[in-house]
Homo-oligomer: A and B are copies of this chain.
């Protein structure tokens, strides 16, 4: 059977389909719908407080008894000067004024939130944890492994995949250039890399022994099956689930994806300080003039956060971060469970055709 792979066996799920942990857009309803349907739902806890994560886990457990994962952002500590902050404040002033709000001032984010989130994962007996923006420190890896947690890393180049394996990750997501939202790159030489999924998956597969999860541009049964044949043991899909009924993405975000075409997305650092793929809009275009002044993550993210919340609330899609992958024409406005079953049925149909033509 096509649906039994190393990933489904290790994660104890039925189908090799992982809902990408889209920080800010997952809900207990989305995560449980995917897990109840036989895939792996993922809580995108990248921006969560410990309280919010505990609450989301409890609410998810209340509506599924199937495995689901939690995704964390590996913290990093960049420096900024007050001059840099003042300059960005000046650049963003037209947007603060447009929404009649006070500027967000960035805080130095050096706290123990990450450690607290890890402890909640252990305490709540979550058995799958994935990471974005790097590899956690060895103490954290050891602690999670001791608690029996399966660890999933993310790579945008072969070197990053090898580093994930060496650090003890049990599986690695091969995130192709087509993927929506933040790129998971964490090695200096990979930050400007742009390797497509078709190219990345087999090259990573040849250099690691841990299972590979294909991501980037995959939205349906054709993409899932292609990913498996490239050497992956599962496919991770974000944009496909972002437009489902259960996703927390604002209506204007879903509509933008449903009405876009394949060449409408670009990479931008302007929202968060890290490269992410989204649908090009006025904010991205206007900020293009200020690329030298973009603050490193998480400072840029903090300074644009209030602007984006207001943009979402007031339906201004020209200012909102419209994260999206490149396969937007395949997006659908359906329930997550229906999407999942359609993907499974599409693969079954491909297999039936194969046998028919033999």
Please name all residues of chain B whose beta carbon is closer than 8 Å to the beta carbon of A75 when the two chains form the complex.
none
Q: Tell me the chain A residues, 183-242 only, with Cβ under 8 Å from chain B.
A: 189-190, 193-200, 202-203, 206-207, 216-220, 222-223, 225-227, 229-231
A157 at the interface (CB under 8 A from B): yes
Are A262 and B227 interface neighbours, CB within 8 A?
no
Are B197 and A198 interface neighbours, CB within 8 A?
yes
Are A262 and B220 interface neighbours, CB within 8 A?
no
Q: Tell me the chain A residues, 126-147 only, with Cβ under 8 Å from chain B.
A: none
Candidates B197, B207, B354; contact of A354 at CB < 8 Å: B354
Are B220 and A357 interface neighbours, CB within 8 A?
no
In the docked arrangement, what's the CA distance between A225 and B222, Å?
Answer: 11
A330 at the interface (CB under 8 A from B): yes
Please name all residues of chain B whose beta carbon is closer than 8 Å to the beta carbon of A158 when the two chains form the complex.
261-262, 329
Are A357 and B202 interface neighbours, CB within 8 A?
no
Please name all residues of chain B whose beta carbon is closer than 8 Å to the beta carbon of A44 when the two chains form the complex.
none
Q: Tell me the chain A residues, 287-336 only, with Cβ under 8 Å from chain B.
A: 325-327, 329-330
Please name all residues of chain B whose beta carbon is closer than 8 Å to the beta carbon of A225 when the two chains form the complex.
229
A73 at the interface (CB under 8 A from B): no
Are A206 and B263 interface neighbours, CB within 8 A?
no
In the docked arrangement, what's the CA distance between A194 and B216, Å?
Answer: 13
Residue ID in chain B nearest A220 by CB atoms:
B202
**Known A-B contacts A158-B262, A229-B222; A217 and B198 likewise in contact (beta carbons under 8 Å):** yes
In the docked arrangement, what's the CA distance between A230 and B157, Å?
Answer: 23
A177 at the interface (CB under 8 A from B): yes
Interface code A327-358, partner B: CB below 8 Å = 1, 0 otherwise?
Answer: 10110000000000000000000110010011
Residue ID in chain B nearest A205 by CB atoms:
B222
In the docked arrangement, what's the CA distance between A226 and B157, Å?
Answer: 20
**Known A-B contacts A263-B189, A263-B190; A199 and B226 likewise in contact (beta carbons under 8 Å):** no
Please name all residues of chain B whose beta carbon is closer than 8 Å to the beta carbon of A329 when the two chains form the complex.
158, 203, 206-207
Are A325 and B189 interface neighbours, CB within 8 A?
no
In the docked arrangement, what's the CA distance between A207 and B261, Å?
Answer: 12
Copies of this chain present:
2
Please name all residues of chain B whose beta carbon is closer than 8 Å to the beta carbon of A351 when the two chains form the complex.
354
Please name all residues of chain B whose beta carbon is closer than 8 Å to the beta carbon of A357 when the two chains form the complex.
1-2, 4
Please name all residues of chain B whose beta carbon is closer than 8 Å to the beta carbon of A216 when the two chains form the complex.
196, 198-199
Are B217 and A222 interface neighbours, CB within 8 A?
no
Are A202 and B178 interface neighbours, CB within 8 A?
no
Are B193 and A196 interface neighbours, CB within 8 A?
no
A176 at the interface (CB under 8 A from B): yes
CB of A199 to closest CB in B, whole Å: 3
In the docked arrangement, what's the CA distance between A338 and B196, Å?
Answer: 27
Are A263 and B195 interface neighbours, CB within 8 A?
yes
CB of A41 to closest CB in B, whole Å: 23
Q: Tell me the chain A residues, 89-127 only, with Cβ under 8 Å from chain B.
A: none
In the docked arrangement, what's the CA distance between A2 and B353, Å?
Answer: 10
In the docked arrangement, what's the CA distance between A216 and B200, Å?
Answer: 12
**Known A-B contacts A199-B326, A203-B330, A329-B158; A226 and B230 likewise in contact (beta carbons under 8 Å):** yes
Candidates B176, B261, B263; contact of A198 at CB < 8 Å: B176
In the docked arrangement, what's the CA distance between A217 and B330, Å?
Answer: 22
Candidates B2, B196, B222; contact of A197 at CB < 8 Å: B196
Output the residue of A2, A197, A225 with the most chain B CB within 10 A.
A197
Apart from A196-B326, A197-B197: 6 A-B pairs, beta carbons within 8 A: A2-B354, A2-B357, A158-B329, A200-B326, A202-B219, A222-B231
